[in-house]
């Protein structure tokens, strides 16, 4: 562990005695999940040594340790993005903190635009794979944190959980679709021509986050479950102009079913880990 990482981990440990095994990164407009967390310790990210500060509306900037129905969780409310001017390594610093803190499962969420007409604003999508078009990788350069130089990415969104997550969605009457996530660096939205190209190469939804975090999580040996909240149709799929305020508004509208799904996943996965 590097000195910077040690300082960040030690600072968080000084604020809470919880030892969570499940970590959650909350996407745009999905931060209200923390309202149902109990026994929570909210740590403003500017207070954490060497932690990059979020500058985007809808990303509040807290690390939260707390419990949900007795299950300890490590929650990131307000991720940082590559387009904010940070390196890919810096925006995944929190995943390194999670790994050193004992997180075995990462639940990563985001707001995404639909490229496939079977997806509509307000839908939730189980991410089954991704296409990285950010032109960056958080593992570029020296391996400061150890791990494999060439980690396998044949199963980035742990397929062993896909059927279980779909069963949880069905049980809670939450419509859940599967899809491939395309990620670019942003912050501008895609043009209509880019949307047509992205759809042709096999993507169902587009976002500006998630992939760097997943790459680091897999290198660190974590399981990953990814959920996209579909907040808009891609440019050209719909004539409606895109805005970040509209994205966060739609994400807030799906709050109830999002909470049902994530709560169900946490309960079932916690049971899974206790039985293995």
* pLDDT tens track for 36-47: 999 999 999 999
Is residue 59 flagged as an active site residue? yes
Question: Which of these is catalytic: 8, 16, 59, 233?
Answer: 59
Q: Write the Ramachandran bin of 242: left for phi over 0, alpha for psi from -120 to 50, otherwise beta.
A: beta
Tell me what pLDDT residue 2 has: 80
Is residue 193 flagged as an active site residue? no
- Per the CB < 8 A criterion, the answer to whether 21 and 46 are in contact is no
Is residue 239 flagged as an active site residue? no
Question: Which of these is catalytic: 208, 217, 220, 222?
Answer: 208
Question: Which of these is catalytic: 232, 233, 251, 270?
Answer: 232
Question: Which of these is catalytic: 244, 267, 272, 273?
Answer: 244
Q: CA-CA distance, 153 to 215, in Å (whole number)?
A: 8
**Homologous superfamily of domain range 3-274:** Nucleoside phosphorylase domain (3.40.50.1580)
Is residue 111 flagged as an active site residue? yes
Question: Which of these is catalytic: 11, 83, 272, 273?
Answer: 83
58 has pLDDT over 60:
no
245 has pLDDT over 70:
no
- Per the CB < 8 A criterion, the answer to whether 56 and 177 are in contact is no
Is residue 28 flagged as an active site residue? yes
Question: Which of these is catalytic: 54, 110, 116, 209?
Answer: 209
Is residue 83 flagged as an active site residue? yes
Cα torsion through 175, 181, 185, 189, rounded to 10 = -60
Is residue 50 flagged as an active site residue? no
Q: What is the pLDDT of residues 136-189, one digit of tens each?
A: 999 999 998 989 999 999 999 999 999 999 999 999 999 999 999 999 998 998
What predicted TM-score, i.e. pTM, was given to this entire model? 0.92
Tell me what pLDDT residue 32 has: 81
251-274 mean pLDDT: 82
Tell me what pLDDT residue 63 has: 96
Is residue 125 flagged as an active site residue? no
Q: With bands split at pLDDT 50, 70 and 90, how would you rate the model's confidence at 119?
A: very high
Q: With bands split at pLDDT 50, 70 and 90, how would you rate the model's confidence at 59?
A: low
Is residue 197 flagged as an active site residue? no
- Per the CB < 8 A criterion, the answer to whether 192 and 236 are in contact is yes
Q: What is the pLDDT of residues 186-243, one digit of tens each?
A: 899 899 999 999 999 999 999 999 999 999 999 999 999 999 999 887 776 665 665 6
Question: Which of these is catalytic: 8, 81, 82, 86?
Answer: 81
Tell me what pLDDT residue 233 has: 79
Q: What are the sequence ranges of the domains in the chain?
A: 3-274
Tell me what pLDDT residue 273 has: 64
Tell me what pLDDT residue 53 has: 86
């Amino acid at each position: 562990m590097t000195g910077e990482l040690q300082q960040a981990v030690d600072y968080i440990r000084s604020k809470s005695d919880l030892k969570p095994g499940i970590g959650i990164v909350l996407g745009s407009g999905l931060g209200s999940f923390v309202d149902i967390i109990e026994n929570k310790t909210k740590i403003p990210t500017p207070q954490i040594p060497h932690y990059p500060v979020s500058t985007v509306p809808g990303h509040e900037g807290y690390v939260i340790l707390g419990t949900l129905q007795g299950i300890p969780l490590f929650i990131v409310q307000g991720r940082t993005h590559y387009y904010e001017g940070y390196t890919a390594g810096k925006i995944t610093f929190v995943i390194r903190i999670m790994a050193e803190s004992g997180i075995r499962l990462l639940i990563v969420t985001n707001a995404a635009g639909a490229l496939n007409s079977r997806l509509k604003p307000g839908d939730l999508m189980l991410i089954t794979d991704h296409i990285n078009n950010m032109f960056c990788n958080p593992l570029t350069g020296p391996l400061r944190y150890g791990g494999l130089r060439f980690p396998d990415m044949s199963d980035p969104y742990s397929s062993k959980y896909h059927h279980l997550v779909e069963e949880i969605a069905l049980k809670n009457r939450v419509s859940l679709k599967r899809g491939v996530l395309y990620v670019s660096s942003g912050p501008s939205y895609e043009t209509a021509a880019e949307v047509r190209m992205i759809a042709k190469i096999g993507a169902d939804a587009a976002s500006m986050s998630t992939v760097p975090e997943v790459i680091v999580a897999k290198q660190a040996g974590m399981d990953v479950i990814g959920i996209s909240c579909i907040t808009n149709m891609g440019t050209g799929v719909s004539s409606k102009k895109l805005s970040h305020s509209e994205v966060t508004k739609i994400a807030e509208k799906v709050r109830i079913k999002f909470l049902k799904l994530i709560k169900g996943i946490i309960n079932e996965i916690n049971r899974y880990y206790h039985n293995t």
